[in-house]
Amino acid sequence: MAAAIAFSALTVSAQDKAEKIPKPDFKQYKRVHQKALDLIRTGKAETAVKFLAVVEEKLSRDAETRYMLAVAQCTLGKADAAEASVEKALELGLPVGRIIGGSHNGLDAIRKRPLIRRLIRQHGKTPVHGPMIGNLSGTSATVWLRTADAATVQVEADTVPPMPGEKVSAEVQTRREHDFVAKVVLKNLKPRTKYTYTVTIDGQKNRAANQKFMTFSKSGEAGRFRLAFGGGAGFVPQHEYVWNTIAATKPDALFQLGDNVYIDNTSVMDMHHYCYYRRQSRPEYRSLVAGLGVFSIWDDHDFGTNDCSGGPEVEAPSWKRPVYEIFRDNWANPGYGGGDQQPGIWWDTYINDVHFICIDGRFYRTDPKTTKGELSMLGPAQKRWLLSTIKKSKGTFKVLISPVPWVFKAKGDSRDTWSGFKKERNEIFTFLTENKIEGVVLMSADRHRSDLWKIDRPDDYALYEFNSSRLTNQHVHKTMEAAIFSYNAKQSFGTVDFDTTAADPTATYRIHTIDGEQVFQHTVKRSELN
């Protein structure tokens, strides 16, 4: 059967060519299969099959192409062909979780076919995505994962070495309405303690060597830790080893600062699920996030479309709420804006005595091109929260994190960064001065390179900005001469080592390439931020 419908046997006839098959953008792999899914979900599955035949001529042994062909064939009611395509995708290395995991993978039509039933029997009681450690603190952690179907999930965590009475456990149910996601909260953990954990799904225990984490110090307590951060993580198979490279730097936390997946679609909600699934299935990513605290915000490419503005209304445009709910299902952050009444991806957390304050630069952003009155990136509710949170902060360092650069020079004359919202940014900086807020450091992503910037202020100390956003992306942005340092030669990420135990606490920013080479280092002393 497989030989009769082999994908390589698909050819594009003269008539097909006349039907205007879209041209694949091979310069950006992340977009190739998204185009196919867009065709499928907008009623053009036959065109998608022809489009994928063109892709196959260039990427002859690409598992993602075979997977997407299976989705198209399911849509067309070709169950035998779809099952054969799935089998081929697996042979080419597609993770099993892509086939049996998630309620929006496009393969429900063949879920009861022999191949899929066998995969579910073999793997259905293991995490198909995850586990991932979210919202890690000194006393708690959230274990995120996705199951193949509705299931009972229990997580047990034990100290290393095990100590009597220190085992903690919690249980949740996964449900279709939340895409079979479990967020299991472990409470009453001991600060600065290493834990191993076991995931049990419907009675079957799952434990791997990387299922361990270490809690932070108590909130407000001095300490040392390392975070890795970056954005610009469009899916590119040959660049996914960056997650292994990050792991080799031994960070305690990972901050993903927007464009974490590239979706760029506000009409096909399955596109969001698809983009999350393909990253969450990667073994390199799964290995990394199972063993450290993961924190996230979004930017334009995982919120809406390029350089988009959500606008001031909560429920308009209508796609904002569904996109927000999908994002929440796929991460385990310390919080989400003002809750259901004031949704958004803003939150704050302490790691030891370093205070991280993260903002949402998209949900309530007014459009600089169409807005006649006051421009705002934050919206009034978020701005009130931000200023109040800064004022109350007790952090030795206060790290203000934006998905787009704070510095005006990062993107030329573009109004997509804070350069388009100068008045509001200056209001924030003036607030720092008027309230004598010390110890502020800036972080950001968005630009497809890694930079260090210094923002001079005439009446106060200079603000340093650590920027990195080319974790996996093929597309690159030019370096900037105005920066202290600017790097774009390879994919890269940043690490920041905080040491608040020193007499003069330090934050040391390093830039690393995807191949593990350190290309830059700069230390900011707390005494510089007074």
* pTM across the whole model: 0.95
Same domain, 381 and 511: yes
352: left (phi over 0), alpha (psi -120 to 50) or beta: left
User: DSSP class of residue 528?
Assistant: G
Specify if 2 maps to a domain.
no
Residues 326 and 222 in one domain: yes
Q: Which helix (H) or strand (E) holds 525?
A: strand 518-525
Number of structural domains the chain divides into: 3
Got the DSSP string for 435-493? Answer: TT---EEEEE--SSSEEEEEEEETTEEEEEEEEE-BSS-S------TTSSEEE-SS-EE
Domain annotation covers residue 383: yes
Task: Clarify whether residues 97 and 135 are in a common domain.
Answer: no
Q: Which of 181, 213, 245 delimits the end of a domain?
A: 213
Based on C-alpha coordinates, what's the Rg of the chain?
23
Say whether both 344 and 397 belong to one domain: yes
Q: Are residues 155 and 79 in the same domain?
A: no
For residue 416, being part of any structural domain is answered with: yes
CATH label of the domain that carries residue 43: 1.25.40
d(CA 133, CA 276): 16
Q: Is residue 220 part of a domain?
A: yes
In the prediction, which pLDDT does 153 show?
98
Q: What is the CATH number of the domain that holds 443?
A: 3.60.21.70
Residues counted in the chain: 530
389 and 265 inside one domain: yes
Triad 477, 482, 485: Cα angle to 5° = 70
Specify burial of residue 152 (Cβ count, 10 A radius: 0-12, 13-18, 19+): middle
Residue 190, domain extent: 129-213
pLDDT of residue 2: 36
| The predicted structure's pLDDT at residue 15 | 43
Q: Tell me, what amino acid is at 495?
A: T
Do 428 and 412 lie in a common domain?
yes
269 CB burial (10 A radius; 0-12, 13-18, 19+): middle
pLDDT at position 9:
37
Amino acid at 322: P
HSE value, Cβ hemisphere, 13 Å, CA-based, for 312: 13
User: Domain end: 198, 213, 228, which one?
Assistant: 213
Which residues are 146's β-sheet partners?
A: 129, 181
244 plus 378 within the same structural domain = yes
Do 203 and 251 share a domain, yes or no?
no
Question: Would you say residue 1 lies in a domain?
Answer: no
Predicted pLDDT at 166: 87
User: Does residue 521 fall inside a structural domain?
Assistant: yes
Q: Dihedral, CA atoms, 161, 167, 173, 177, nearest 10 degrees?
A: -60
Coil, helix or strand at residue 175: coil
Res 11: pLDDT? 44
Q: What's the pLDDT score for residue 7?
A: 40
pLDDT of residue 19: 66
CB 39 within 8 A of CB 6: no
Cβ neighbours of 503 (radius 10 Å): 6
Residue among 101, 70, 73 nearest 87 (CA): 70
Which pLDDT tens digits describe the chain residue by residue (530 residues)? 333 333 433 444 444 445 689 999 999 999 999 999 999 999 999 999 999 999 999 999 999 999 999 999 999 999 999 999 999 999 999 999 999 999 999 999 999 999 999 999 999 999 999 999 999 999 999 999 999 999 999 999 999 999 988 899 999 999 999 999 999 999 999 999 999 999 999 999 998 888 999 999 999 999 999 999 999 999 999 999 999 999 999 999 999 999 999 999 999 999 999 999 999 999 999 999 999 999 999 999 999 999 999 999 999 999 999 999 999 999 999 999 999 999 999 999 999 999 999 999 999 999 988 888 889 999 999 999 999 999 999 999 999 999 999 999 999 878 999 999 999 999 999 999 999 999 999 999 999 999 999 999 999 999 999 999 999 999 999 999 999 999 999 999 999 999 999 999 999 999 999 999 999 999 999 999 99
Establish if 306 belongs to a structural domain: yes
Look at residue 79 and tell me if it is in a domain. yes
Closest CA to 66 of 105, 39, 94: 94
Q: How would DSSP label each residue in 28-77?
A: SHHHHHHHHHHHHHTT-HHHHHHHHHHHHHHSTT-HHHHHHHHHHHHHTT
497 and 416 in a common domain:
yes
- Select from 66, 100, 123 the last residue of a domain: 123
Same domain, yes or no: 56 and 107: yes
Residue 442: closest CA among 453, 432, 458, 426: 453
Cα separation, 110 vs 51, whole angstroms: 22
Claim to verify: residue 204 and residue 220 sit in the same structural domain: no
